[in-house]
Structure 1
Amino acid sequence: PVSSTLYGSRFLTGEVGGSVTHQCFYSITPANKHDRKYWCRRAGSGVCHTIISTTGYTSREHRGRVSLEDIPQKGTFMVTMTGLEKSDTGIYRCGIGSTNSDLYIRLNLTVSADASTVEPIRLFLGELHGSVTVLCPPGDTPSGEKRFWCKVGRSSCSLIANTDGYVGKNYQGRISITSQESSGAFKILVNDLKKEDFGLYRCGNGGLSSWDSSRMVALQVTTASTLPRRPKFLSGRAGGSLSITCHYDPKGNYKKKYLCRWKAATCSLLVDTDGFVHQSSKGRVQVASSDQENGTYRVVMSHLREEDAGWYWCGATNGHTEHTSSVKLLIQKKTCSSQGPETSTLVKPTLSRPATSSTPTQRSITDLTHVMGTKSTSTLLPTASPSTLLPTASSSTLLPTASPSTFVTSPGKIYPQSSPSESHLLPVVLPALILLVFTTFTVLFLTKIKLQKETGEERNAIGNLEVAPTQDGQNPVKEQIMEETPENGQEHGTDSGKCRWVFSGTG
């Protein structure tokens, strides 16, 4: 099978009588370092016949015109064929393993009378978790064209970043494409290198289809960097300050150190050790100290703002070589609620009765006063809450007797005088009236107690519902940051309620 840990060009061209060199790159592991490397040619039957290998074998027909050099510390081996003939055109493999069907790269070699010269693939080395600077030579496309960086696969080149602002999700905050120099060359800067960054790449001007204006390079990731690793995230509070300690190799003879702000594959310079300070950073960002012997420098950022959140790069440069590292800054802002949970207002549902409705009690009292022939105003007030459902003494008022000719139950309503025979019903009706009033008060009292109990349960239920949205509505990303950064989410009381520190946008 074709190995994902082997990389190399898939097309070679050579001129009759000339020579060609092929580089095969492999991941630096103990097994790969010491295992057999080989170069073979595939026959029509599918069998790949060995031409040369690191065991010392060389086929008879290729002796004197083929060589293989293995460089384990760089993770590469090179095969060179000289005295090319047209019959050398065919399909070849470079690979690792005890057989020719183990790990390999398949490629096509074309030999012609006037083949163009193919530039060799340049190898760049970078340490695991460290950084690398890839110099992309000037192409045929005029300056000003967009620049790109892509990873070569079996049949295509997958775009990683370009100067239009595109950056692949696995490279956010850790790749930058610099501006073109006067010669047209530019640099690709990658930091926080990972093992999977090993492979073949293309850099160039224009689009991915612009093969003529692009160059093939190989990136090899070696053992882990010995430089101290800083946390990937730093946090500060709006209005506060923080310091960033940057590390570089003191043996690298770096002349200038700087801090820049990364966004969309570009990094805008904020401050450097030569005294430059960006206009937006004056009075807020400065290089506080620099220790060349230990390879460190410290940048202080003060009067932090919410918009300061985002990616930043530490950098040290020496000519075309740059050492970079990235850090993401998170800014906390203070948010206050208008009231604390203990002072929150709970709006209770109101219980009301239409003013025009008539209850049996009202009708009974009206009928009774009509029979008694007295002038009376009978009123039962609707209430707004269960606590006032019990009628008061003023709910029913007996007024002095009116003249015999009229009987008034309410203002504006006059009823004719009752007949004398009806007054004989008074001894019967009066006890019934007293019993009715007592019964009514008892029912209202029991109803009040029941409603108070139900209202208390409803208050508890509403109180629980008011707390739940605050808990469920929290941003999952902020929750994760809060777990990683203990100080986030701390609360303290104020005169108007509670305040807490939460992370703002990340820029």
Structure 2
Amino acid sequence: MVILFLLAILLQEPVSSTLYGSRFLAGKVGGSVTHQCFYPITPANKHDRKYWCRVTGNRGCSTIISTTGYTSKHHVGRVSLEDIPQNGTFLVTMTGLKEDDAGIYCCGIGSTNGDLYVRLNLTVRADAAVLGTTRLIQGQLHGSVTIPCPPGDTQGSGEGFWCRLGRTSCTLIADTNGFIGKSYQGRVFITPKESSGAFKILINDLKKEDSGMYQCGTGRVRGWDSPRVVALQVTTASTLPKRPNHLSSRVGGSVSLKCHSDPGRSYQKRYLCRWKAGSCELLVDTEGFVHESYRGRIQPPNSAQEPGTYTVVLSHLREEDEGWYWCGTQNGHTEHTSPVRLHIQKVSSPVFGPRQVYGLLGGSAIVKCFYPPTSVNRHDRKYWCRQSATGCRTIVSTSGYVAPGYQDRISILDHPDAESFQINITQLTAADTGTYQCGVGINGRGLSHKVNLEVSEAQVATIFQA
């Protein structure tokens, strides 16, 4: 018997927004088909009822088989359902296909057939083609994945591509010609093709909405009939915290990039690369490589005191250093990466500093802001104020003012020789979360820079702003 394994189109219906699988399935008369349905790996989903039903004329869906042990009397002996909760997927196989098996089916989760489901169309014909299998790739929220794209039916030396499958086509996300979709800037990289024609797709800063069906290949984006289909599943029950991925510094300054990896794993190599237009040029690694244009101004990755972290320092910064960088670790054929965007400010620019600062409840936060190196700015008032609909209320300033409720837990220190000042906040509370400004002069009239402060219970990384 021929088993057709086609998972191609992500069905986007409100009721099934957290469940996905193929929209089309095809099989031969007398043959078999296997359908795979993907669901988020949560305790409830792992133990809930899974089902396979056929849509009837009255818009209902008649159960064929479910994990409660039920099997329709018309399908006994030729249908099976296997749940694999650790992978967040279940398989439905129908054998001995007949022409009247063609129709609309649903795979779903829930006590009734109207809860979470994905609808698909099954076609049964004598000339159905044998199609390739779907590969399941799992990643954690905020983490990264490495997706191998093996050699196959390529069209000459065409470019490699990665696209997301839709109802009738595949929307291009990235290719080796430098195209990158808007929502994937800085977080997708297609590696150069090997001699065999194989390549890899690296994706980081994973989001919940990245879960779905994809296709990789070379040459023309073929759509849902491609044999190289990938199901990407992002686990939302992640142990990885959302880390700040933006750093600011100035021309001639320096910045310290704190990179994170799994402390329980050993890695053959740690590195930093510069991401541009879908490629990532290696700058430095633990094997001794240093890019020629960065010699003398980049320090190789050094292990930090905190397990699972390493630090790369960039100094003597230039305007052209602004852009995306990737921290990376490699273990065999698998790579784990995370993105950081570096903002470079000209010396003559207004006040600048971090745009986002994170802190823990009961902990502390440090905000360092820079100002243009003029005599007036060195001697002018520096302040930290909280923004609201009516203005920006001063919290602390170098004139000696401290707002009520902040005594003994906030300070401001000016460093005129370094054209910078620093705000230190301790005993953080949830109420401290908000939008602030660090500035020079008079609130709302002088130079200022907006900073978002987020206080949470989740563990986050502290990044030094040079």
The two structures have a TM-score, normalised by structure 2, of 0.70
- In the TM superposition, 1:162-241 aligns within 5 A as 162-209=175-222, 215-227=228-240, 230-241=243-254
**Cα displacement (A) at 1:497:** 10
What are the equivalent positions in structure 2 for 1:14-93 lying under 5 Å apart? 14-93=27-106
Q: 2:167 aligns with which of 147, 151, 154?
A: 154
Give the aligned partner of residue 401 of structure 1.
none
- Provide the residue aligned with 2:133 in structure 1: 120
Q: CA RMSD in A?
A: 3.1
Distance 1:195 1:51 in 2: 31
Q: Distance in 2 between matches of 1:329 and 1:118?
A: 44
Structure 2 residue 125 is the aligned partner of structure 1 residue 99? no
CA 172–115 in structure 1, closer or farther in 2 if over 3 Å, else same? same
The alignment-based identity, stated in percent, is 64
CA deviation map 1:345-397 (0-9, x unaligned):
xxxxxxxxxxxxxxxxxxxxxxxxxxxxxxxxxxxxxxxxxxxxxxxxxxxxx
Structure 1 gaps of 5+ residues are 337-473
Question: 1: CA distance between counterparts of 2:156 and 2:284?
Answer: 27
Secondary structure (helix, strand or coil) at the match of 2:86 reads helix
Indicate the SS of the match to 1:252: coil
**Cα distance change of structure 1 residues 480 and 332 upon mapping to structure 2, 3 Å threshold:** closer
Identify if the C-alpha distance between structure 1 residues 63 and 292 changes in structure 2 by more than 3 Å, giving closer, same or farther: farther
Could you tell me whether the CA contact under 8 Å between 2:27 and 2:123 is conserved in 1?
yes
Cα-to-partner distance string for 1:429-453 (whole Å, 9 max, x where unaligned): xxxxxxxxxxxxxxxxxxxxxxxxx
SS in 1 for 2:293: helix
Q: How many residues align?
A: 363
Q: Indicate the residue corresponding to 2:436 in structure 1.
A: none
Shift of 1:30: 4.2
Q: What one-letter code is carried by the residue in structure 2 that aligns with 1:242?
A: V
Contact kept? 1:152, 1:200, Cα under 8 Å? yes
Which of 295, 300, 305 is the equivalent residue of 2:318? 305
Tell me which amino acid in the other structure corresponds to 1:269: L
In structure 1, distance between residues paired with 2:306 and 2:318:
34
The aligned amino acid for 2:279 is T
Distance 1:67 1:319 in 2: 37
How far apart in 2 are the matches of 1:100 and 1:228?
A: 36
Match of 1:138 among 135, 148, 151: 151
- The structure carrying a bigger helix percent of its residues is 1
Alignment partner, residue 423 of structure 1: none
- Between 1:26-35 and 1:172-181, the stretch displaced more is 26-35
3-state DSSP class of the match of 1:251?
A: coil
The two structures have a TM-score, normalised by structure 1, of 0.65
Answer with 1 or 2: which has the greater Rg: 1
Partner of 1:328: 341
Deviations 1:443-479 (A, max 9, x none): xxxxxxxxxxxxxxxxxxxxxxxxxxxxxxx8xxx87
In the alignment, the residues of structure 2 paired with residue 186 and residue 17 of structure 1 have an alpha-carbon distance, to the nearest angstrom, of 37
Change (3 A) 1:29 1:228: closer
Letter matched to residue 70 of structure 2: Y
Q: 1:252 to 1:86 in 2, by over 3 A?
A: farther
Amino acid at match of 1:300: V
Q: CA deviation at 1:311?
A: 0.6
SS at match of 1:335: coil
Unaligned runs of at least 5 residues, structure 2? 1-12, 358-365, 380-415, 421-446, 450-466
Match of 2:274 among 261, 269, 284: 261
Aligned-partner Cα distance in 2 for 1:479–1:300: 20
2: CA distance between counterparts of 1:208 and 1:75? 28
Q: Structure 2 vs 1, CA of residues 291 and 143 (structure 1 numbering), >3 Å: closer, same or farther?
A: farther
How far apart, in 2, do the equivalents of 1:25 and 1:182 lie? 34
CA distance in 2, matches of 1:47, 1:82: 24
Q: C-alpha offsets along residues 19-77 of structure 1, whole Å, 9 cap, x if unaligned?
A: 22110112234443333221112234443221101221101121122111222332211
Please state whether the residue corresponding to 1:307 is helix, strand or coil: helix
Matched, 1:318 2:199: no
* Residue of structure 2 equivalent to 1:493: 374
Cα offset, 1:168, TM superposition: 2.2
Deviations along 1:235-287, whole A, 9 cap, x unmatched?
22322222222221243332111110011121111111111122212222231
Kept in 1, the 8 Å contact 2:208–2:234? The answer is: yes
What SS does the corresponding residue of 1:334 show, helix, strand or coil?
A: coil
* Closer, same or farther: CA 143–327 of 1 in aligned 2, 3 Å: farther
